[in-house]
Structure 1
Amino acid sequence: MNASTRAAALHRTIWRWHFWAGLIVAPILLILSVTGAIYLFNDEIDDTLYPHLRFVQPQATSVPTSAMILAALAAHPGGAVSRIDLPGRPDRSALLFVTPREGRQLHVYADPGTGRVLGSLDYALTPVGWANDMHGSLTIGTLGDRIVELAACWTLVLIATGVFLWWPRGRWQLAGTVWPRLSGGGRRLWRDLHGPVGLWTAGLIAFLLVTGLPWAGVQGDVIQRASAAAGVGYPASFRAHNAPNSVPMKIALGEAPWTLETAPMPQSHAGHVGHDAPPPTSDAAAIIGVDRVTALLADHGLSGGYRLHLPGGPAGVYAAYTYPDQPEGQRTIYIDRYSFRQIGPEVRFADYGWVGRAVELGVQIHMGNYFGRANQLLMLVPCLAIWLLTISGVAMWWKRRPHGTIGAPPTMRGARLGGLAATLALAGVLLPLFGASLLVLAAADRLLLGRAARA
């Protein structure tokens, strides 16, 4: 077999990978790009839809934080509160997380100047809440999270194989390669859109995928554990907090900055905390104590713009952290619920390991937060490109396929796949869920080939 035949066989093999990967993940990519585009403008959307909840008339003074919590509980008798987000601007409302006696958790908004409750929302039923849930788990929980993670991994394969297929095999021609030729029609037009658009946006799409994977269930856990073991994730100072009885911060609070999700949660000096997420509280002492906590935080330079979690149970602590658009401003402070003393050192962004800093920075750029409107528009480009790439790819397939068949590129013997196989094996090790899917596909392929041979 000569070199040209081997090259053609390799090209056909890569094309088959690209075809099947694209056809399988296309619906998920469309969902992720739409919901991601919505979430890029989450504040703008919420401000437009719910201005009566999110904006207040600035006041010279503010009521005690406990007054807003008590007002929220009075508006929802029998409920309990787990967290309050204190605004960083005088014209913004405070946000309280209240679990009513029956039903799902509510977002309750209060005026910091008067303490008056402005109203409440079921976040999951808002456009932004729906987009957030759909983007992370397709609204079906753990199974959806795994599907999204697999789609992200296989989209990386799409990008790599797409670049290979785009690379000219003969004489370079800018039209149709670097920019589309719009004069043609039919399949050629879709192909000329598909290639150049993929060329110019592949880097941005890959960036979204790579910066999103740390939040995935399997890959995120792998990165967390590996970075913690190597001392380049969450700060070493956290590892002494009540070990081995402490629970991870994300389990204790429900959410946390990525770097601190697995950091051991400290405890107040009375009682023992279990390994389940603590319930929201209606404990009068914990609520009244919030005012002493906010005073202590003010002494540390935190007068607003932070999230404060209330103690959940007798061993719970007050946990305050900032989560600004620029992660360099992240700060985390724990306060004992009985002595009102700070527990352990304050942890700042500079204390994170390099993996933690890189992930936090990537996440804020991913969400369009880091450098304002320009960041939002930049991340909107790959969302729109995914739609154009998906539609053009499906259109090319539909126009090319023989009537009544799937129209997959046929196999061709003689391809040298040593480098490709090694690359996939390495990717399977680094991305365990992707590696598991490769094993499943290999087994299915072997089974189908065996049946074909016997037939």
Structure 2
Amino acid sequence: MSQKKTAFGKLIGTLHLWLGLASGIVIIVLGLTGAIYVFTDELKPLVYQDRLFIQPENKPKLPLSQLLAAAQKAVGEKRPVTRVEISSQPDRTYIFRALKVDKDGFSHWDYYKYYFRAYVNPYNGKVVKLENSENEFFTVILGLHMRMLFGEKIGHAVVSYSVLAFVLILISGLVLWWPSKWNKSGTDKSFKIKWNAKWKRVNYDLHNVLGFYACVLLFMSAVTGLVWAFDWFEKGVKTIADGGKLAEVPAVFSDSTQNKDITAIDRVFATLQTDQPTAYGYLINFPAAGKLPINASTYLTGSNRYDRIQGQYDQFTGAKLRSRSFDELTNGEKAYAMNFDLHVGAWAGLTSKILTFFAGLICASLPVTGFVIWWGRRKKEVKGGKGVRGGKGGMVAPVRAGAGKVGRPAFVSMSSRLSEEEK
């Protein structure tokens, strides 16, 4: 039985080590960028006051169609505006976006064919700021987080499979962390950092103990990341949430026999305000062409994204085609709607955001502390004696002093055992 446990431990240690080495740099970047992105909604109003805020006026705001025309003129007629973000607060600009991507592009800047945001004063229609958003700080942070600043084909694959590896790293790490004995000595090593120990022991504790405390939040962020990474994973989550059979919701379309009316978006916005006059804000997506509807989201609160009403409206007439609150969604749709808030830690307000922020920093530290553990033991084993296989660059398995047996190979350095030097 003990031999089987030893063999299993070696397998888990090997898996943990090599997956960590293979994905370490990406995990560091994802941890740091994720920690920053958690507080994007809180940071933007602080650093972008010049474009987000205006002096409210004692008069009605201009029609949305007129503001759209002003934004379209600013970005250029060859760059169609595709959506607008509207805050209910009287001192905020309307944010219009024109975006087109090239999924075959190699880098972040090849991926975006163009990406502009026009910040428009809703009282007078003036463009407060025209922003080239592909170079904007939070867009670059998101590009690092989602694609490592590569294009879609390379960057998405690198990040997706690194996140998949990270899920396995977390599971194997929990197995390695598990105390061999649940007495005071065993649990102290697993739950406490021995700050007065030598630096190798402190580094080990930072990896082992902090990794455990952040494990649940990191697992949640990683699994929700997989929902966006792989179509099969997204479909699987929705199917499980729907009870084993994916619920299908029929699509709705605009009446293309009607003439195009630019004021249709004014009627859509008026309907949104009438239905939910106390809403936190609105997001309206304009269809490029065809029979697709206008998609509009009414956000009921500023603390999360899932608590919203999703509606589709005829792009030619502005008539409501369908409107559903979160409670009216299928279970699969609810799971997907909550994915963003679970990923960024917004599911329990500011408290969960703070915890997710620190979990992101711990995530970025784990490959570093893990590498230090592995490298230190590897150097010690290589230096400690003659191995079975010699030669430059060869794998060395040292012989322990005073024993006739070959010592454990380097891959067990990621196990939960500590050497005497590190205690």
Query: TM > 0.5 between the two?
Result: yes
Cα separation, partners in 2 of 1:301 and 1:194, compared to 1, 3 Å: closer
- How far apart in 1 are the matches of 2:77 and 2:306? 39
Pair 1:150 & 2:161 matched: yes
Matching residue of 1:10: 8
Distance 1:194 1:137 in 2: 26
Q: 2:241·2:331 contact (CA, 8 Å) conserved in 1?
A: no
Map of 1:410 onto structure 2? 409
2:367 counterpart of 1:390: yes
- TM-score, with structure 2 as normaliser: 0.78
Please tell me the residue identity of whatever aligns with 1:5: Q
Aligned partner of 2:346 in structure 1 is: 369
CA distance in 2, matches of 1:368, 1:155: 18
The number of residues matched between the two structures is 370
Corresponding residue SS for 1:71: helix
Pairing 1:132–2:130 present: no
| Cα distance change, pair 199–370 in 1 and its aligned pair in 2 (3 A) | closer
The answer to whether the 8 Å contact 1:95/1:110 transfers is yes
| SS of aligned partner of 1:175 | helix
What is the identity, as a one-letter code, of the residue corresponding to 1:26? G
What secondary structure does 2:346 align onto? coil
- Cα RMSD (Å): 3.0
SS at match of 1:157: helix
The question of whether the paired residues in 2 share the 8 Å contact of 1:401 and 1:407 is answered with no
Instruction: Report the alpha carbon displacement of residue 55 of structure 1 after superposing the two structures with TM.
Output: 0.8
Q: In the alignment, is the contact (CA less than 8 A) between 2:98 and 2:116 conserved in 1?
A: yes
Offset, 1:108:
0.6
The alpha-carbon deviation at position 164 of structure 1 amounts to 1.6
Of the candidates 199, 215, 223, which is equivalent to residue 210 of structure 1?
A: 223
Deviation at 1:231, TM superposition (A): 8.0
Q: 1:300 aligns with which of 271, 275, 278?
A: 275
Counterpart residue type for residue 348 of structure 1: S
Match of 1:357 in 2: 334
Write the letter of the residue equivalent to 2:123.
G
Amino acid at match of 1:191: Y
Q: Give the Cα separation in 1 of the matches to 2:396 and 2:89.
A: 58
Kindly indicate whether the alpha-carbon contact (under 8 Å) linking 2:86 and 2:282 is maintained by their aligned counterparts in 1. Answer: yes
- After TM superposition, give the deviation of residue 51 of structure 1 in Å: 1.1
2:107 equivalent in structure 1: none
User: Offset of 1:398 from its aligned partner?
Assistant: 1.3
Whichever residue aligns with residue 205 of structure 1, its letter is L
Within-5 A mapping of 1:224-303:
226=239, 236=248, 238-239=249-250, 241=251, 266-270=252-256, 285-301=260-276
- Give, as a single letter, the amino acid of the residue that structure 1 aligns with 2:223: V
Task: Give the 3 Å change call, closer, same or farther, for CA 224–338 of structure 1 in structure 2.
Answer: farther
Q: Where do 1:423-438 residues align within 5 Å?
A: none
Name 1:81's counterpart in structure 2.
81
Q: Note if contact 1:400-1:407 (Cα within 8 Å) is conserved in structure 2.
A: no
Alignment TM-score, normalising by the size of structure 1: 0.73
Match of 1:332 in 2: 310
Amino acid in structure 1 at the alignment position of 2:204: R
Report if aligned partners of 1:231, 1:353 keep a CA contact under 8 Å in 2.
Answer: no
What is the DSSP-based 3-state SS (H/G/I as helix, E as strand, rest coil) of the residue aligned with 2:262?
A: helix
Would you say 1:346 and 2:332 are equivalent positions?
no
- 5+ residue gaps, structure 1, are 242-265, 273-282, 413-455
Alpha-carbon distance change, 77 to 295 in structure 1, aligned in 2, over 3 angstroms:
same
Deviation at 1:77, TM superposition (A): 3.9
3-state secondary structure, aligned to 1:319: strand
Moved more, 303-312 or 104-113: 303-312
